[in-house]
Amino acid sequence: MQKTINCATFRKMVLVGAKMLDNNRAKVDALNVFPVPDGDTGTNMSLTMQSAVKELTGSASNNFMEVCDCVSKGALKGARGNSGVILSQIFRGICSVLRVGKPDVDTRAFAKALEAGTKVAYNAVAIPKEGTILTVMRLMSEFAVKNAGKYREYENFIPAIIEEGDKALAKTPELLPVLKKAGVVDSGGVGLMTIMRGFQAAIMGDEIVSEVQTEAANAAQSLDADFGDNSDIINMDLGEIQFAYCTEFFVINLKKSTTLADIDKLRENLMNIGDSVICIGDLEMIKVHVHTNCPGVALTYALELGELDRPKIENMLEQNRALKAKIAAEKKEQGMLAICTGDGISDIFKDLFVDRVIAGGQTMNPSASDIATAVQKINADNVFVFPNNKNIILAAEQAKALVDNRTIHVIPTRNVPQGFAAALSFSPEASVEENKTNMIHALDNVKAGSVTHAVRTTSVNGFNIKEGDIIGLDDKKILAKSDNIEETVLKLLDRLKEDQHEVITLYYGEEVTEEDAAALAAKVGEAFPDCDVDYHSGGQPVYYYLVSLE
- With bands split at pLDDT 50, 70 and 90, how would you rate the model's confidence at 228? very low
Residue 256 class from Cβ within 10 Å (0-12 exposed, 13-18 middle, 19+ buried)? exposed
Q: Quick: pLDDT tens for 500-532.
A: 999 999 999 999 999 999 999 999 999 999 999
- With bands split at pLDDT 50, 70 and 90, how would you rate the model's confidence at 183? low
Query: Residue 220's pLDDT is what?
Result: 43
Per-residue CA distances from 119 to 94, 135, 139 (Å): 10, 11, 12
CATH 3.40.50.510 fits 331-443, yes or no: yes
Query: Residue 196's pLDDT is what?
Result: 95
pTM value?
A: 0.56
> Of 3.40.50, 1.10.3210, 3.30.1180, 3.30.1560, which CATH number belongs to 447-549?
3.30.1180
Q: Quick: pLDDT tens for 454-474.
A: 888 888 888 898 989 999 999
Q: In whole angstroms, what is the distance from residue 472 CA to residue 464 CA?
A: 13
Residue 250 confidence (pLDDT) above 90: yes
Worst-scoring range by mean pLDDT, 65-69, 362-366, 369-373? 362-366
Listing DSSP states for 229-254 in one string gives T-HHHHT--GGG----EEEEEEEES-
Mean pLDDT of 198-206: 89
Query: Residue 78's pLDDT is what?
Result: 81
Q: Quick: pLDDT tens for 122-172.
A: 988 777 888 889 999 999 999 999 999 899 999 999 999 999 999 999 888
**Contacts by 266-271 with C-beta closer than 8 Å and gap 24+?**
266/301, 266/302, 266/304, 266/305, 267/126, 269/301, 270/126, 270/298, 270/301, 271/126
Residue 281 confidence (pLDDT) above 80: yes
- With bands split at pLDDT 50, 70 and 90, how would you rate the model's confidence at 41? confident
| Arch. (CATH architecture) of 4-230 | Alpha Horseshoe (1.25)
CATH number of the 239-320 domain: 3.30.70
Segments making up each domain of the chain, as ranges = 4-230, 239-320, 331-443, 447-549
Mean pLDDT, the chain, as a whole number?
87
Query: Residue 39's pLDDT is what?
Result: 44
Q: Quick: pLDDT tens for 292-342.
A: 999 999 999 999 999 999 999 999 888 878 777 776 677 789 999 999 999
Query: Residue 240's pLDDT is what?
Result: 58
Name the maximum alpha-carbon separation found in the chain.
94
Mean pLDDT of 428-444: 94
Q: Quick: pLDDT tens for 55-100.
A: 999 888 888 999 999 999 898 888 877 788 889 999 999 999 999 8
